[in-house]
Amino acid sequence: MKSSEIRSLYLDFFREKGHSVVPGIGLIPFDDPTLLFTSAGMVQFKKFWATDTPLPYTRATTCQKCMRAGGKDSDIDKIGITGRHHTFFEMLGNFSFGDYFKKEAIEWAWEFVIERLKIPEELIWVSYYEKDDETKEIWKKFLPEERIIPLSEKDNFWGPAGDTGPCGPCTELYVDFGIEKGCGSNCKPGCECSRFLEFWNLVFPQYDKQKDGSLAPLKRRGVDTGMGLERITRIMQKTNSNYETDLFLPIVKEIERISGYSYDSEEKKPSFRITSDHIRAAVFLIDENVLPSNEGRGYVLRRIIRR
Ligand code: SER
């Protein structure tokens, strides 16, 4: 399945479930001085949970351009080392603002993954926030308990994006690439090895983190999910990393042509990954009029181009 088909399938599925299909915003959040870049699909909706502003819709779905380079959410140091992180990537998401909550979010995630993407259900594992028994009970309708893994706040309490704003417990879907990719007999989601790939995070925003670090209740609780398009494409196209999917392969091939090196060389692979990742990031930043400079966003771009 092509990445473009996965994008459409996702947005169409949530349209069928009553969501408005809303355009993503740019990489520079328009009215959010707390963020360097748009780092998640939820960024454009923060006020819908945190204030009682009138809502144009209570359910939305988007495909959002994201940048995780510079600032708190930066993944820049992982690029090239893993085959699953990016500075620039696309996040598919469905959102509820005071509308549906955990039950529907989980049921629809399962339906999409099993019935639309047709991923064999025995490959799916999930994690949940260890204090969130409600989420565990919902998952038990679909999965044996051995594949429902409790994790701590570090892994399964998401947000906020930046230092303040909506956050809450989350539950994540993983695909199992097989025991032979694991690091040992007791390897589970949450382990840093290559056996499990987390591809969809379902967050249940309930708190509004304040500047002093305290958690106030949100005006409207809801749902904020994020599925990495590059990761789900890798799963559907059965490639060894995100960099061999149709989202990256044309760039990798062009770098091979220009450089004369082969991506198949283990020694060169990290350089191919860094270069192809950073080219996408630079192109999309420049498209939004960010130019290399000595500070802020321009400095991030300068670092990306230099590297
Ligand atoms: N905001 C969550 C994330 O970025 C889910 O969309 O993972």
Query: 258: CA distance to ligand 1 center in Å?
Result: 36
In the chain, % of residues over pLDDT 70: 100
What count of other Cβ atoms lies within 10 Å of the Cβ of residue 116? 13
Pocket test for ligand 1, best of 42, 43, 206 (most atoms within 8 A of CB): 42
For the cut 90, the answer to whether the pLDDT of residue 162 exceeds it is no
Other CB atoms closer than 10 Å to residue 298's CB: what's the count?
14
CA 296 to CA 307: how far, in whole Å? 17
Establish whether residue 22 lines the binding site of ligand 1, counting it when its CB lies within 6 angstroms of any ligand atom: no
Q: In 3D, which of 89, 81, 85, 83 has the Cα closest to residue 3? A: 89
Phi (first) and psi of residue 124, to 5 degrees = -90, 130
Q: Are 93 and 59 in contact (CB under 8 A)?
A: no
User: What is the β-pairing status of strands 157-158 and 20-21?
Assistant: unpaired
Report how far ligand 1's centroid is from the alpha carbon of 201 (Å).
6
Average pLDDT over residues 210-224: 96
Q: What is the pLDDT of residue 51?
A: 95
Q: How far apart are CA 270 and CA 286, in angstroms?
A: 24
List pLDDT tens digits, range 28-82.
Answer: 998 888 899 999 999 999 999 999 999 999 999 999 999 999 877 788 889 988 9
201 lines ligand 1 (CB under 6 A): yes
Residue with the smallest CA separation from ligand 1 atom 6 is 226
Q: What phi and psi, each to the nearest 5 degrees, are found at residue 90?
A: -110, 135
Per-residue pLDDT band for 2 (boundaries 50, 70, 90) equals very high
**Is the Cβ atom of 203 under 6 angstroms away from ligand 1?**
yes
- Global pTM reads 0.96
Give me the DSSP letters along the chain: --HHHHHHHHHHHHHHTT-EE-----SS-TT-TT-SS--SGGGGGHHHHHS-PPPS-SEEEEEEEEE--SSTT--GGGBTTBSS--SEEEEEEEEEESS--HHHHHHHHHHIIIIIS---GGGEEEEEETT-HHHHHHHTTTS-GGGEEEE-HHHHEE--SSSSEEEEEEEEEEEE--GGGSSSTT--TT-SSSSEEEEEEEE---EEE-TTS-EEEPSS-EEEEEEEHHHHHHHHHT-SSGGGSTTTHHHHHHHHHHH---TT-TTTHHHHHHHHHHHHHHHHHHHTT----SSHHHHHHHHHHH-
pLDDT category of residue 88 using cuts at 50, 70 and 90: very high
Task: Report whether residue 172 contacts ligand 1, using a CB cutoff of 6 Å.
Answer: no
Query: Separation of 180 CA from ligand 1 center, angstroms?
Result: 29
**Residue 85: is its pLDDT beyond 90?**
yes
